[in-house]
Amino acid sequence: MAVTLDGITLPIDLIWSDEYGFSHVTQNVKKSLTGALIIQEAIQPKGRKLGIKGGQDAAWIDRSTADLLQAKVDTVDLTMTLIWHGVSYQVRFDRSGNTSPILLQEIYELADPDADHVYSITVLKLFEV
């Protein structure tokens, strides 16, 4: 099945590395003045992080696709549609930690790459909204 981000076709061999590292139930535990536990739980319907990765031998894209992704990264307040193997998510880039939400690595380095030059998506950080 296809993987797309806001209409940009991505490699199908990307891996969602933290797919099961999230719970929609949040919890707050405190002690009362008497020492009893006060436990509060609620559903957190959104906010799930999507850590997507490739590697040197996977998730290859051409430079023109890399430019399209970079243009999305450089857009403020952008909500996008991620289609992940048939399932649709409304997402935004995860810029937390003051790091880029996307990291690309050239498969082989060139001083003046053309539109067909090949890159690998090593990190793509999103969260559901």
pLDDT digits (tens, 9 = 90+) for 65-108: 999 999 999 999 999 999 999 999 999 999 998 889 999 999 88
Nearest of 124, 3, 102, 128 to residue 53 by alpha carbon: 124
CA atoms of 36 and 56, how far apart (whole Å):
52
Q: How confident is the model at residue 113 (pLDDT cuts 50, 70, 90)?
A: confident
Q: How confident is the model at residue 13 (pLDDT cuts 50, 70, 90)?
A: very high
Looking up tokens 């559901």 gives 128
Give per-residue pLDDT as tens, 27-63.
Answer: 999 999 999 999 999 998 888 999 999 877 889 999 9
